[in-house]
Protein backbone atom coordinates (compact mmCIF):
# COMPACT_ATOMS: atom_id res chain seq x y z
CA UNK A 1 0.00 0.00 0.00
CA UNK A 2 2.75 2.45 0.93
CA UNK A 3 4.47 2.07 -2.43
CA UNK A 4 1.32 3.22 -4.24
CA UNK A 5 1.04 6.25 -1.98
CA UNK A 6 4.76 7.01 -2.40
CA UNK A 7 4.32 6.92 -6.18
CA UNK A 8 1.34 9.25 -5.85
CA UNK A 9 3.36 11.66 -3.67
CA UNK A 10 6.18 11.72 -6.25
CA UNK A 11 3.84 12.20 -9.19
CA UNK A 12 1.71 14.75 -7.37
CA UNK A 13 4.68 16.95 -6.51
CA UNK A 14 5.99 16.78 -10.07
CA UNK A 15 2.57 17.65 -11.53
CA UNK A 16 2.05 20.49 -9.05
CA UNK A 17 5.50 21.96 -9.73
CA UNK A 18 4.99 21.88 -13.49
CA UNK A 19 1.54 23.45 -13.07
CA UNK A 20 3.16 26.20 -10.97
CA UNK A 21 5.79 26.80 -13.67
CA UNK A 22 3.05 27.03 -16.30
CA UNK A 23 1.12 29.52 -14.17
CA UNK A 24 4.26 31.56 -13.44
CA UNK A 25 5.11 31.76 -17.15
CA UNK A 26 1.79 33.54 -17.79
CA UNK A 27 2.07 36.08 -14.97
CA UNK A 28 4.41 38.93 -14.17
CA UNK A 29 7.46 38.12 -12.11
CA UNK A 30 6.75 38.84 -8.47
CA UNK A 31 9.37 40.64 -6.38
CA UNK A 32 11.07 38.53 -3.72
CA UNK A 33 9.54 38.47 -0.27
CA UNK A 34 11.32 40.89 2.07
CA UNK A 35 13.67 39.26 4.53
CA UNK A 36 13.77 35.94 2.68
CA UNK A 37 16.68 35.10 0.44
CA UNK A 38 14.61 32.55 -1.50
CA UNK A 39 13.34 32.42 -5.06
CA UNK A 40 9.67 31.80 -5.76
CA UNK A 41 10.58 28.32 -6.96
CA UNK A 42 12.36 27.64 -3.68
CA UNK A 43 9.30 28.95 -1.83
CA UNK A 44 7.15 26.47 -3.77
CA UNK A 45 9.26 23.59 -2.45
CA UNK A 46 9.37 25.05 1.07
CA UNK A 47 5.58 25.33 1.08
CA UNK A 48 5.28 21.71 -0.04
CA UNK A 49 7.53 20.60 2.82
CA UNK A 50 5.65 22.65 5.40
CA UNK A 51 2.43 20.81 4.58
CA UNK A 52 3.96 17.72 6.18
CA UNK A 53 5.67 19.50 9.09
CA UNK A 54 4.75 17.68 12.27
CA UNK A 55 6.08 16.23 15.46
CA UNK A 56 5.18 12.86 16.89
CA UNK A 57 6.34 10.40 19.48
CA UNK A 58 8.15 7.21 18.50
CA UNK A 59 5.04 5.30 19.52
CA UNK A 60 2.82 7.38 17.23
CA UNK A 61 5.27 7.00 14.34
CA UNK A 62 5.42 3.23 14.81
CA UNK A 63 1.62 3.06 14.87
CA UNK A 64 1.46 5.13 11.69
CA UNK A 65 3.96 2.84 9.96
CA UNK A 66 1.88 -0.16 10.99
CA UNK A 67 -1.61 1.16 10.19
CA UNK A 68 -1.41 4.09 7.76
CA UNK A 69 -1.00 3.41 4.01
CA UNK A 70 1.13 6.57 3.79
CA UNK A 71 4.78 6.91 4.75
CA UNK A 72 5.60 9.07 7.79
CA UNK A 73 5.58 12.81 7.00
CA UNK A 74 9.35 13.31 6.83
CA UNK A 75 9.60 10.63 4.14
CA UNK A 76 6.69 12.18 2.25
CA UNK A 77 8.93 15.26 1.99
CA UNK A 78 12.41 13.76 1.55
CA UNK A 79 11.35 11.12 -0.99
CA UNK A 80 9.54 13.26 -3.57
CA UNK A 81 11.90 16.24 -3.25
CA UNK A 82 15.04 14.11 -3.59
CA UNK A 83 13.58 12.48 -6.72
CA UNK A 84 12.86 15.80 -8.44
CA UNK A 85 15.89 17.17 -10.35
CA UNK A 86 14.40 20.68 -10.31
CA UNK A 87 14.57 20.72 -6.50
CA UNK A 88 18.28 19.86 -6.50
CA UNK A 89 18.88 22.49 -9.15
CA UNK A 90 17.02 25.23 -7.24
CA UNK A 91 18.89 24.53 -4.00
CA UNK A 92 22.25 23.60 -5.57
CA UNK A 93 22.29 20.18 -3.91
CA UNK A 94 25.50 18.32 -4.78
CA UNK A 95 25.08 15.17 -6.87
CA UNK A 96 25.20 12.17 -4.56
CA UNK A 97 23.90 14.11 -1.55
CA UNK A 98 20.83 13.01 0.43
CA UNK A 99 18.60 15.46 -1.42
CA UNK A 100 20.16 14.80 -4.85
CA UNK A 101 20.98 11.10 -5.12
CA UNK A 102 22.57 9.83 -8.30
CA UNK A 103 19.74 7.33 -8.74
CA UNK A 104 16.29 8.85 -8.75
CA UNK A 105 12.84 7.36 -9.10
CA UNK A 106 11.03 9.23 -11.86
CA UNK A 107 7.27 9.02 -12.04
CA UNK A 108 5.28 9.92 -15.13
* Calpha distance 79→73 (Å, rounded): 10
Domain ranges of the chain: 1-18+59-108
Distances from the Cα of 28 to the Cα of 24, 25, 31, 64, angstroms: 7, 8, 9, 43
**How does pLDDT run along the chain (108 residues), one tens digit per residue?**
788 998 999 999 999 999 999 999 999 888 888 999 999 999 999 999 999 888 888 998 888 888 888 888 888 999 999 999 999 999 999 999 999 999 998 877
Query: Given this model, what pLDDT does residue 93 score?
Result: 98
pLDDT of residue 51: 92
Exposed/middle/buried for residue 9 (C-beta within 10 Å: 0-12, 13-18, 19+): buried
What pLDDT is recorded for position 61? 85
Q: What is the pLDDT of residue 34?
A: 92
How far apart (Å, rounded) are the C-alpha atoms in residues 101 and 105?
A: 10
Amino acid sequence: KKICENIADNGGLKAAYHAYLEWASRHHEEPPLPGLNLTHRQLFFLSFAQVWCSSSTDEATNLQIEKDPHSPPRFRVIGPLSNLPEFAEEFNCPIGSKMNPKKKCEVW
